[in-house]
Amino acid sequence: MITQGVKITTRCEACGGVLMRDTGQFIDRGRLWWGTEGTCLSCPVAWCDQDFGDATPEEIRQALLAEHGPARLRLQDPEASAVPVLRALREAHGLSLAQARAMTDELKTTGLVGTLVEMELVASRIRQHSVRVTVETSSG
């Protein structure tokens, strides 16, 4: 399972104490999931939220990008046929042909950028169409 998370310390709105938030993304059964758990160290405030879909809430994405940096998805052979890539991107994101072409052009040149979990999910869908891709992170 591909997963990435970040722990954030903030102030509890209920009591003013220290609130620990654990937020992140993961892939389960081919779907992008995200979640946030929070626990106050001084009072009984606690919660757990989890959901899935095509887009992670921007607050979670930004926390992950700030903590871990972006991941970049690249084609191993930029001269490979665009047809399987177009098909994979349209299936993965429900894109129009024009949108998929633009995303394919980006993938062939600079690469697609997002969180590690997002890029690994797109990579797995492209690999299902026998296209070789790599996911690069700033840490390696």
pLDDT for position 30: 87
Distance CA 140, CA 138 (A): 6
Grouping H, G, I as helix, E, B as strand and the rest as coil, residue 63 is helix
pLDDT for position 77: 87
Question: Which residues in the chain come in under a pLDDT of 70?
Answer: 139-140
Residue with tokens 């950028």: 113
Q: Is the distance from CB of 22 to CB of 37 less than 8 angstroms? A: yes
The 8-class DSSP code of residue 83 comes to H
Residue with tokens 């938030």: 21
pLDDT for position 79: 84
Nearest in space to 115 (alpha carbons), one of 25, 53, 23 = 25
Paired tokens of 100 = 């998929």
pLDDT for position 21: 95
CB atoms within 10 A of CB 115: 25
